[in-house]
Structure 1
Amino acid sequence: MEISIIGERDFTLGFQLCGIKNIQNVEKSDYTNFNKVFTETIENSDIGIVVVNETYYQKMPIQIKKKLEKLVSPVVVALSDEDSAGGSDLRTLIKRSLGVDLWKE
Structure 2
Amino acid sequence: MSQEIGVIGSPEFTTGFRLAGVRKFANVPPEEKDERLDEAVEGMLEDDDVGIVVMNGDDLDFLSRNVRRRVETSVEPVLVTLGGDAGSGGLREQIKRAIGIDLMAED
**Alpha carbons of structure 1 residues 70 and 80: separation in structure 2 relative to 1, 3 Å:** closer
For the aligned residue pairs, the C-alpha RMSD in angstroms reads: 2.4
Identity of aligned residues (%): 29
Change in CA separation of 1:59 and 1:20 when aligned onto 2, cut-off 3 Å: same
TM-score (norm 2): 0.68
1 CA distance for matches of 2:28 and 2:62?
14
Q: 2:56 corresponds to which residue?
A: 53
Task: Note the alpha carbon deviations across 1:5-29, whole angstroms, 9 max, x for none.
Answer: 0111111111111111112111113
Shift of 1:70: 4.2
Aligned length: 86
- Superposition TM-score, scaled by structure 1 size: 0.70
Q: Which runs of 5+ in 2 are unaligned?
A: 86-90, 97-107
Aligned to 2:71, what secondary structure does the other structure show? helix
Q: Counterparts of 1:62-73 in structure 2 under 5 Å?
A: 62-73=65-76
Moved over 6 A (4+): none
Structure 2 equivalent of residue 9 of structure 1: 11
Structure index of larger Rg:
2
- Stretches of structure 1 that go unaligned for 5 or more consecutive residues are 83-93, 100-105
